[in-house]
Amino acid sequence: MTKNEAINILIVDDHEMGRRGLKMFLLGYDDLVVAGEAASGEEAIQFCEQLTPDIILMDLALPGMGGVEAIDHIHQAHPNIRIIVLSGTSGVQNVRDAIQAGATSYLMKTIADEQLADSIRVTQSGQRVLCPEATQALVYAATHPTLRPENLSSRENEILLLMSQGLNNAEIADRLYLSRATVKYHIGRLLSKLGAANRSEAIAIAFKQGIV
């Protein structure tokens, strides 16, 4: 394997242990070379300006500039860089936003080492690699139009607003004079409509879409 054939990789993750683990993994492959490490979206952008890597392994949960925003910036400035999202979540909004921003592939952090190595090579060749969870999320996004406020019932809007204010199920039930079972039912419908995996993700989606 010659130097020109090696795939230069930038690791972007705000957790030092995460970066260290990926670096140790990549050291086991002659054709996968760690070109640099970044702990934030801003650092990733700066690195790309200094030395354009072939592949970026990008976490989405970053301090300051988020992963999706960093992907969009890098893709606009360096469209030839292939970006692989390596995330701990596969929520519909995360997957859709990352792909729309310019990510080529979307993988979960639980992926096996050999699968990740192969996915890096396949992505470098220009092909898209999606984990099953990301594929499901994109199918859902394609078959469910972007949620608008009118898609929610008045009760769902009330509960979503209270959720965004940090109230738990019991507090919401007391505030709206509902049973906890009823609140739980409405929250389940909210998560389904928003394509969210949990309350935090639902609130983030609602804020992003201007619903609350």
Q: What is the pLDDT of residues 180-212, one digit of tens each?
A: 999 999 998 888 888 788 888 888 887 776 676
**Structural contact between residues 81 and 34, judged by C-beta atoms closer than 8 angstroms:** no
Distance between CA atoms of residues 118 and 128, nearest Å: 12
Of 72, 103, 73, 100, nearest in space to 87 by CA: 103
Q: Is the pTM of this model over 0.75?
A: no
Distance between CA atoms of residues 3 and 33, nearest Å: 9
User: Where would I find the beta strands (DSSP E) of 6-146?
Assistant: 7-12, 32-38, 55-58, 82-87, 105-108
Which tops the pLDDT comparison, 206 or 81? 81
Average pLDDT, the chain: 88
Which tops the pLDDT comparison, 138 or 26? 26
CATH architecture of the domain covering 149-208: Orthogonal Bundle (1.10)
Distance between CA atoms of residues 164 and 204, nearest Å: 9
Q: What is the reported pLDDT for 1?
A: 43
Distance between CA atoms of residues 30 and 3, nearest Å: 9
Q: Is the pLDDT of residue 147 over 60?
A: no
User: Where would I find the beta strands (DSSP E) of the chain?
Assistant: 7-12, 32-38, 55-58, 82-87, 105-108
Q: Where are the CATH 1.10.10.10 domain residues in the chain?
A: 149-208
54-58, 131-135, 200-204: which is most confident: 54-58
Q: Is the pLDDT of residue 148 over 80?
A: no
Q: Does domain 3-143 have CATH number 3.40.50.2300?
A: yes
Q: Where are the CATH 3.40.50.2300 domain residues in the chain?
A: 3-143
Tokens of 2: 């010659």
Distance between CA atoms of residues 71 and 209, nearest Å: 19
Q: Is the pLDDT of residue 2 over 50?
A: no
Task: Look up tokens 């910036």; give the residue.
Answer: 73
Distance between CA atoms of residues 200 and 191, nearest Å: 10
Work out whether strand 7-12 and strand 32-38 pair parallel, antiparallel, or are unpaired. parallel
- Give the mean model confidence (pLDDT) for residues 38-46: 95
